[in-house]
Structure formats: structure tokens, C-alpha cells
Amino acid sequence: MVNLIFGRLVRMKKMKNIRKHILLVSASLVSTLALTAVMINVPASAATANLPTSCYDAQNEVVWCGVSNVFALQHVYKFGDGHNTAASIQAIYSYFGITQSDINNMSSSAVVGKVYKNGDVVVNGKVVATRGVTAGRQYIAGSTKVIHNGVTFYKRTPSISFTSNALDAFVVFHNGRFSFAILSSCGNSVVAVPVAALAPSPEPTPVPAPSPASLPKPTKLPNYTIQKQVSIAGTNNWSSEIEVHPDTNVDYKIVITSTGGSNANNINVKDTLPSDDNYDPGTLTINGNIASQSDINNFFASGYNISTLAPGSIVTIIFEATAGENRNNANCTNETLSNVATMQGYNLPQESSTATVSVVCVPTAPTTSTTIRPSTLANTGPGSTIGIFVATALVGAISYGVFAKRRLYRK
């Protein structure tokens, strides 16, 4: 009886071991199939792009804990990452000009590179772009707040947000030129200024260089110009330099033009008037509209802010001033009034333009008089004066004697 019970226990234990082996084999098979499925969906050019991720600053990351490969990035772009919605990820990318088509094509267009704290983008040891700009979901001192498609985020240079010297990234090229990059550790996008004409060959499959006839895709970066001119008030004869008399009203015109391929943001414009060039109150207009007193005060002090200037857009600022006021008097001196307008946009260099007014005094005519003053006579003394009167009397007497004698003979 004991042997029978023992035999049954042995058989039951064998059955449990068999079931355990079956479960282990099944789990291994499922894992293999899942890995195979991922490898099938990731093209060969992105198969080596299994980059490190990080949850160190997940609240700031565009993609929660980042993305290790292109397949994962394409997935969160469409469906979100469980913490951030797909719409918020798409909004941040679209602000930098990154489209759904760009993300879909990363399987063939993305190569492995690095973005450095100084703004350089490097692939295969070569700098392919500089002056990088990135963005995150949280504010860091030095960042600029952006609201795009209802999503709030903060734009900045890598020097502000990078805690290490460089971060791994998926780097994308269009027509042989750098287009954008996605940081693997956080999913944050990066745009920069291309410096290489040709993209380095992706590994392990080389990419042929584009033909000479192919045209590079325009770079999606902002830029702008500023021009200041002056005219005698009401004449619209605009020039960089004019000449006027004191107390002359002149018009100043400042034209700001967006010349880049994307929006120029947070442009600060201000004007510095010389001491003898006085603003005429109530004359400042912005694109033809009378400016508020607050905008006027800012324009002549800390600066007037243009939040966004789309490519090709123009802002025109016109105001009147009195040149050389209260100088039209006997103590007037000629002077040159240099009026400088400056502007500074986010992540753009400061630009300035100068209009010059030469104030020329009106000549004063000399005073004339026909009155002969005693002081103009020669100082000959009293004796000479008496002699003149005596001589005059003698001449008169002689003349009278001659005249009387002639009358006597005639009789």
C-alpha cells in the first residue's frame, strides 16, 4: 500500500515538472516571436540604433523616459507614451517643422549621432549642424515659453538644459542636409543650422550621395532684417540721412522683415532718440494703428515686443519727432543727430539700423545803419574844428564879393 502511494506521488511530480517545462518553453517562444516582430518592423538602417533612455527628468521629457529605437518613437508619436498624449508630442514636433511623414520615414532617413551642449550635432565624428535649439515640458531659467496647438512647452539652447556634454540622438537628413534630430533619452526634438553639404553614410548600409542636380531642402530656421529711414514730416521722401533747419518736424520709419523659413519669436524692438531729437506725442503707429501709451513707453525704453513674426511678414513702425528743438537762436550751432533702432529675437543675433539728421542753423543777417555817429569822425581836436569853420566863412565871403561885382558891371 505504501509503495502504491509513493508511486503515485512520483508520477504527479513528474507531471508538474513536465507542465513547468512546457510553460518555460512557451514563454521563451513568445519572447522570441515578439523580438522577431520588432526586428521585422525596424529596417536595417535603424536596427543598430538601440540607444540608451532615461527617466531622470521624466516630467521635462517630450516622451516619458525617452525612446530607444525608431520603432518605439513611431509608436509613441501615434499613440502616446502612457503619460503624454500623442497630440502633445505631435504639437511640440510640429512647432519645429517635424511632420508625421518625417517620423514615418525615419526608418530609412535616421542615423545615429550626438547633440552636444554647445549646440553642435555630430555624426560619425563630423559636425553636420551648429547652433542647436531644443525644447522640454518644464521651465528652466533661460528658456522661452511657447504655446503651440494648445500645448505649453519651453524652448532653449542645449547649454541651458543639458547636464552632460552630449546626448545620443536619431539624426535625420533631407537631400543630404541635416534636417532635425530626436534625443533618445527624452524624445526632445532638436533643430540646428546645417554645415555639411552631404550626410554621412548611415551604418551599416551606405547611402549614395545625391546627384549634383538635386536641390537642397530649404532650412527651416528663422531670420530677420531691420531698416530705419527718415523724412521731413509729411513728405514720405525716405532716406537714411537728411539735412534740416532747427525746429523741423521729421518722420522716422522702422521696417522689420521676417526673412527665414520659420517663425521669428519674441522680437524686442527699441529706439534711442538723441537729446535734441524730441518725440512728438501721439504720433507713433504700428502697421498703421496708433500705439498704446504702454507700447510707446516700452518702445523708447526697454523695448516693444513682437511675439511672433511669420516668414515673409513685415512690421512697420512710424513716428514723428522735432529735430534740433529750441536751437533756432543766436547761440545755435550745427549738429548731427544719429537715431538708432535695435532688435533682438529669441536665439537670433541683435540687429540695428541708423537714420541721421543733420541740423544746420539759419544764418543771421548783419545789422546796418545810415546814422553817422560822432565816434566815426576823426579826433582832430578843437583847433582844427575852428579852422574848418573860418575857411568856410572866407570862401562864402569871396563868392559873394565876386557875385556883387558882376552885378555892378552889368548895370
What pLDDT is attached to residue 216?
Answer: 58
Helical packing angle, 70-79 and 86-95, nearest 10°: 110
What pLDDT is attached to residue 342?
Answer: 95
Under-70 pLDDT residues of the chain: 1-51, 54, 196-219, 326-330, 364-411
Could you tell me the domains of the chain? 45-194 (no CATH), 224-359 (2.60.40.740)
Q: Which long-range contacts (CB under 8 A, 24 or more apart) does 294-302 make?
A: 298/270, 299/269, 299/270, 299/271, 300/270, 300/271, 300/272, 300/273, 301/270, 302/268, 302/270
What pLDDT is attached to residue 347?
Answer: 87
Residue pLDDT, tens place only, 116-127:
999 999 999 999
**Cell match 518736424: residue?**
249
What pLDDT is attached to residue 30?
Answer: 38
Residue pLDDT, tens place only, 201-250:
555 566 666 665 555 555 578 999 999 999 999 999 999 999 999 889 99
What pLDDT is attached to residue 2?
Answer: 43
What pLDDT is attached to residue 46?
Answer: 47
Q: Return the closest-CA partner of residue 68 out of 86, 48, 84, 43.
A: 48
pTM: predicted TM-score of the whole model, two decimal places = 0.40
